[in-house]
Chain A
């Protein structure tokens, strides 16, 4: 199993450009998440999904949109990128049912907005 994968690994955007980050998981997990991590800080939740076709806002949702059209994929979109969105973006997934509920994280996407 590949676990959680993210595409792309690195990206540089100009202010105002748009892009989509792709997260894929092959563990048949129900729940998926997008976090951002700024230098020297912990992760902050942007959006999450508790199942195919559902999405919900996290702590810092402004400036981002998400879609979960297929269970295995969770897309994060930036419609008009701003320098404040320069960050490392991590995707995660878990079963979402009772029990351990440990989250499995992807390797991250490093985004720079000039």
Chain B
């Protein structure tokens, strides 16, 4: 699975959009970009994933660059409850064992 690079920490004002970047310059053609988050002391939670098209669900939007070497997770109206560590993971969707390789992620702090 491709390696990802994320900023260690970011801050965002409540009600504003939070844009979390991720670099994955060695991504292969059959690898997906997944985002999970982990609110303090809880188990990780799936947010969204994509292959090459931009994706949107009830939680967030995922913007993937045309060359697929980077992506941005967008939380359109951040709330205090969105304070968490956000993990960007690149993997083949059908890899044997469906394993996830977690890096250190980005600590997002939403401020009032």
Contacts and interface: CB of A to CB of B under 8 A. Distances in A.
Interface string A77-105: 00000000000101010101011111111
Contacts of A101: 93-94, 98
Interface residues of A, number: 30
Contact of B102 (A31, A42, A96, A102): A42
Contacts of B87: 42
Nearest to A33: B99
Interface of A: 4, 31, 33, 35, 40-45, 48, 50, 56, 58, 88, 90, 92, 94, 96, 98-108
Contacts of B45: 105
5 contacts: A4-B43, A43-B44, A98-B93, A103-B100, A108-B41
B99 A48 contact: yes
